[in-house]
Amino acid sequence: MKILLYSTGCPKCNVLSRKLDNKGITYTIVNDIDEMTELGIMQVPVLSVDGCLLPFDKAVNWVNGMEMVE
């Protein structure tokens, strides 16, 4: 599974990053504004799970539903 966190380091981005870390989910942070714009991302954070873009609220729900990775 390929997980990307599109982030600018804002408070909501940091919340989502901590949630991912707490679950032990491996992800890559992308902070390239041009790449975000090309994908139509107008506000962050956005989590990409195998290419499916999830805005903050849906991303939090997805993370909360994941089992903790050990």
* Domain 3-65 belongs in CATH node 3.40.630.30: no
**Residue 53 identity (one-letter amino acid):** L
Whether 2 has a pLDDT exceeding 70, the answer reads: yes
Q: What ranges do the domains of the chain cover?
A: 3-65
C-alpha distances (whole Å) from 60 to each of 17, 37, 70 are 10, 22, 20
Supply the pLDDT for residue 33: 96
Rounded-to-integer distance, Cα 13 and Cα 9, Å: 6
pTM of the model: 0.91
List, in sequence order, every residue forming a beta bridge with 33; answer none if it has no partner.
none
Which tens digit of pLDDT belongs to each residue from 25-47? 999 999 999 999 999 999 999 99
